Amino acid sequence: MRAEVSKIKLISRYIFAGIIALILLWVFILSDNSFWNTWRLNKEMINMRKKVTELNARNDSLRTENEKLQTSLDAAEKAARERFGLVKPGEKVFRFVPANEPIEKK
Q: Are residues 49 and 9 in the same domain?
A: no
Whole-number pLDDT of residue 7: 86
The verdict on residue 79 lying in a domain is: yes
The verdict on residue 9 lying in a domain is: yes
Distances (CA, A) of 48 to 55, 56, 57, 68: 10, 12, 14, 30
| 75-93 confidence digits (pLDDT tens) | 888 888 888 888 888 888 7
Q: Are residues 57 and 73 in the same domain?
A: yes
Mean pLDDT of the chain: 87
Is the whole-model pTM more than 0.85?
A: no
Question: Are residues 79 and 72 in contact, defined by beta-carbon separation less than 8 angstroms?
Answer: no
Helices (H), 26-85: 35-71, 73-84
The verdict on residue 99 lying in a domain is: no
The verdict on residue 88 lying in a domain is: no
Question: What percent of the chain is predicted at pLDDT more than 90?
Answer: 42
Q: Is 85 left (phi over 0), alpha (psi -120 to 50) or beta?
A: left
Q: Are residues 10 and 40 in the same domain?
A: no
The verdict on residue 72 lying in a domain is: yes
Is the confidence at residue 43, as pLDDT, over 90?
A: yes
Q: Are residues 24 and 48 in the same domain?
A: no
